[in-house]
Amino acid sequence: MTEPLLSVRDLPVRYGGIEAVRGISLDVGEGELLTLIGGNGAGKSTTLRTISGLKRPTTGTVSFRGEPIQKLPPHRIVARGICQVPEGRQIFPRMSVEENLEMGAYARRGADDSREDFERVFDLFPVLRERRAQAGGTLSGGEQQMLAIGRALMSHPALLMLDEPSLGLSPLLTLRIFDLLREIHAQGTTILLVEQNANQALKLADRGYVLESGVITLHDAAARLLGDDAVRKAYLGEV
């Protein structure tokens, strides 16, 4: 069996005395689009933050390309090839669109292909080209989400992790963001997606994990999860 790009094993994470994630294990294969679904407070964002190095697990391992990374600081994890688009965008509101994108390439400072990176992002998100001199904070919510994704792509991630990219967006913009993720994946980027819009996430993904109260309760091919009665009732709003 091919070694997964990302492997999480027996990962617990505590916030004070509360165990937010309780010994979960998951794998993300090279070139895969995997989604992690679950309700509010299930531990989805905590899982991503721990993989990114923003939270430290008490035990367990996080391995990337066969190497343990759970003790590395976030900037070194980014340098390894993992980049997260955080919940709520968290762009730099006073910086221009172009300056925000430059910050995404910070870990690759000195690279001579940054112009090509800009062109790739602007081809994916033409509106950012139009607004390249505009302050990030003046963009609409959908445009800010595009900027956050573009900023992450500037680091050349082998694994792109997204935390609730549709949060606060209209249904039309949500569909646009998912179309863009499909295109980014088709270009060769491995994606780990955390998303409350389980229906759209499972339609997009190859496989999915269901996280409930900090525990993985189910994992399967995304198409089979879409047809699972329990998943449809709990996360797709169907009875």
- Residue 142: the pLDDT is 92
**Would the pLDDT of 111 be above 80?**
no
What is the full DSSP assignment across 90-131? Answer: ---TTSBHHHHHHHHTGGGTT-TTHHHHHHHHHHH-HHHHHT
Q: What CATH number should be reported for the domain holding residue 28?
A: 3.40.50.300
136 and 223 together in one domain: no
Q: Give me the mean pLDDT over the 34-49 stretch.
A: 92
Question: Does 185 lie in the same domain as 72?
Answer: yes
Do 168 and 138 fall within a single domain? no
Q: Is the pLDDT of residue 1 over 80?
A: no
If asked whether residues 13 and 60 sit together in one domain, one would say yes
| pTM exceeds 0.95 | no
Q: Does any domain span residue 149?
A: yes
Question: Residue 109 — very low, low, confident or very high, per pLDDT cuts 50/70/90?
Answer: low
Q: Which two tokens stand for residue 71?
A: 């003790």
Tell me how far CA of residue 54 lies from CA of 152, 186, 202, in angstroms: 16, 28, 27
Specify if 122 maps to a domain: yes
- Average pLDDT over all residues of the chain: 92
Residues 161 and 151 in one domain: no
State the distance between the two ends of the chain, measured CA to CA, in whole angstroms. 38
In this model, does residue 13 exceed pLDDT 90? Answer: no
pLDDT of residue 235: 86
Residue 68 has pLDDT above 90, yes or no: yes
pLDDT in tens, 142-200: 999 999 999 999 999 999 999 999 998 999 999 999 999 999 999 999 999 999 899 99
**pLDDT higher than threshold 90 for residue 17:** no
User: Is the Cα dihedral 160, 222, 143, 89 positive or negative?
Assistant: negative
pLDDT computed for residue 88 by the predictor:
86
Indicate the range of 13-27, 109-123, 193-207 predicted with least confidence.
109-123
In a domain, residue 148? The reply is yes
Any domain includes 126:
yes
**pLDDT at 10 (0 to 100):** 95
Range of the domain at 137: 93-156
